């Protein structure tokens, strides 16, 4: 069992082959999207279905930064600093803010959903460092939210994969994902659209005030 997405991204094929040789399973649920059971869903629940597309917010740190910029009008530098002070961003946030972390996660998701053999460096990747408060103003004016999305979908000839900031329609569930939360939308032939949502970056979330009524 491992939660090391960088290890899997670089040496996953070798590790899975060794596991198969030994007749054991290699579990890595914690490597993508914190506690969201996205790996199990792709490996088990949708194993007999045909996944057509994946679109998700898979990096809680960048989503927290973008949420602060959108909701509080903060600059990128201020929002990043606050995320670091609260322990949601590393002292060196490069992997998160450049989109590299999201690309590693998308590589793993695409390998499960589509049987794709690709490296994280094969994925077109753009981060959030160039985003400014005016970008959120423009997004709201036209009915969109601005999110860092990891997307993989079947094309007419090949698999289309990318990580980049994107304008998301406000009516989309992904537009409502705030703070350090993650969410992944799946589209499959039999199931249609489904959404997995939960805590991403940071420690354990506080207990939710669930009500039986």
- 39 SS3 class: helix
* C-alpha–C-alpha distance, residues 76 and 203, integer Å: 23
* C-alpha–C-alpha distance, residues 153 and 132, integer Å: 28
Enter the DSSP assignment of 65. Answer: H
Q: Out of 5, 22, 86, 105, pick the active-site residue.
A: 105
Q: Token pair for residue 79?
A: 């929002």
Q: Is 105 a catalytic residue?
A: yes
CA angle 70, 61, 207 (to 5 degrees): 95
Contact 147, 166 (CB under 8 A): yes
* Block residue for tokens 């399973």: 25
Contact 174, 57 (CB under 8 A): yes
Among the residues of 86-204, which ranges form H helices? 94-97, 100-114, 133-141
Catalytic residues: 105
């Amino acid at each position: 069992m491992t939660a090391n997405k960088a290890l899997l991204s670089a040496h996953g094929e070798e590790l899975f082959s060794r596991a198969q040789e030994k007749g054991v399973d290699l579990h890595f649920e914690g490597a993508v999207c914190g506690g969201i059971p996205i790996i199990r869903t792709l490996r088990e629940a949708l194993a007999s279905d045909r996944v057509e597309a994946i679109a998700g917010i898979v990096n809680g740190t960048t989503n927290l930064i973008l949420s602060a910029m959108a909701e509080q009008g903060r600059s990128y530098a201020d929002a990043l600093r606050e995320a670091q002070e609260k322990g949601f961003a590393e002292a060196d946030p490069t992997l998160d803010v450049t989109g590299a972390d999201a690309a590693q996660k998308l590589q793993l998701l695409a390998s499960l959903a589509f049987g794709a053999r690709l490296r994280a460096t094969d994925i077109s990747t753009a981060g959030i460092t160039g985003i400014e408060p005016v970008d959120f103003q423009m997004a709201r004016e036209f009915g969109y939210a601005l999110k860092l999305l990891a997307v993989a979908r079947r094309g007419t000839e090949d698999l289309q994969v990318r990580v980049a900031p994107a304008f998301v329609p406000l009516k989309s569930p992904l537009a409502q994902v705030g703070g350090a939360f993650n969410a992944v939308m799946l589209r499959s032939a039999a199931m249609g659209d489904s959404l997995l949502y939960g805590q991403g970056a940071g420690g354990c979330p506080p207990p939710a005030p669930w009500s039986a009524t």
